[in-house]
Amino acid sequence: MAAVLLVPEWLSGRSSIPPVAVDGIDAEPTTDGRLLGHFPYSEASSDLLVPVEAGIELHRDAALALNAMRRSAAADGVDLRLLSGYRSHDLQKSIFFDVKSERNQSAAERAKVSAPPGYSEHSTGYAVDLGDGEDPATNLSQSFENTRAFRWLQDNAAVYHFTLSFPVINPQGVSYEPWHWRFEGSSEALRAFEPARRLAVGQ
Ligand SMILES: [Zn+2]
């Protein structure tokens, strides 16, 4: 006999990952699954991760696309550097809470510039932080938008299915991150980011 399932909102197309409360953060996830603006993301399974740089792994689909993109950038004289890729929930937890206490920030302040654990696009293995090898002083800084690497990405990243996750104005209320791009070039990746994409286009 078929069981009758009640489909919660996070399974009905708004978000495919169940939102969870996070120890140390008082805020609760909203009905669309977001916590302090960020959507929930599951961790990539380890057999799908491949090393791209020393200490940096990506989902293999994103790694292939990134490598092709970097070769194309290099042919145009642009040195695209991979600064960060896959992060486990545990690593994201340290990044969120250690820096939060270092800077004496509230969870809401911290969430403007960093995702809470369980809510980072980096957990999927599809998100990358990119820098300009010729201008490392702009790494992970909004001044990255003035580099040749950023301008090249604006013109070419879509060809490789990379999209800017947090443009100047974004409905998630996250700070502008010109260095943070996500791969949407497979059905799995598209599904992972569907809630974010739908919010961005106002659906
Ligand atoms: Zn990032």
CB-based contacts of 138: which residues, under 8 Å, 6+ apart? 131, 132, 144, 146, 147
Residue 113 lies in a domain: no
DSSP for 110-126, please give it.
HHHHSPPTT--GGGGT-
Instruction: Indicate whether 158 belongs to any domain.
Output: yes
In a domain, 172, yes or no: yes
Q: How far is the CA of 180 from the centre of ligand 1 (A)?
A: 4
pLDDT tens for each residue of 134-163? 999 999 999 999 999 999 999 999 999 999
Cα 13 to middle of ligand 1, angstroms: 24
Residue 3 in domain:
no
In a domain, 170, yes or no: yes
**What is the per-residue pLDDT across 55-69, written as a single tens digit (0 to 9) for each?**
999 999 999 999 999
Residue 110 Cα, ligand 1 centroid: separation in angstroms? 14
Cβ proximity of 165 and 177 under 8 Å: yes
Mean pLDDT to the nearest integer, 110-128: 95
Give the Cα separation of 73 and 79 in Å (integer). 7
**pTM of the entire predicted model:** 0.90
Output the CA 3–ligand 1 centroid distance in Å: 41
Report the chain's terminal Cα–Cα distance, integer Å. 36
Judged against a pLDDT cut of 80, whether residue 116 lies above it is answered with yes
Residue 78 lies in a domain: yes
Looking at residue 47, what is its pLDDT?
A: 97
The CATH number of the domain holding residue 131 is 3.30.1380.10
pLDDT for 124 equals 97
Task: Say how many domains are in the chain.
Answer: 1
CA atoms lying within 13 Å on the CB side of residue 189: 22
Calculate how far, in angstroms, residue 2's C-alpha sits from the geometric centre of ligand 1.
Answer: 42
Domain annotation covers residue 66: yes
Distance 1 CA to ligand 1 centre (A): 46
Q: Which domain holds residue 189?
A: 53-86+125-200
Lowest mean per-residue pLDDT among 5-9, 36-40, 114-118, 160-164:
5-9
Tens of pLDDT, residue by residue over 4-22, are: 555 555 555 455 678 888 9
Tell me the average pLDDT across 111-125: 95
Q: According to the model, what pLDDT value does residue 20 have?
A: 82
Strands 49-53 and 127-132, bridge-based pairing: unpaired
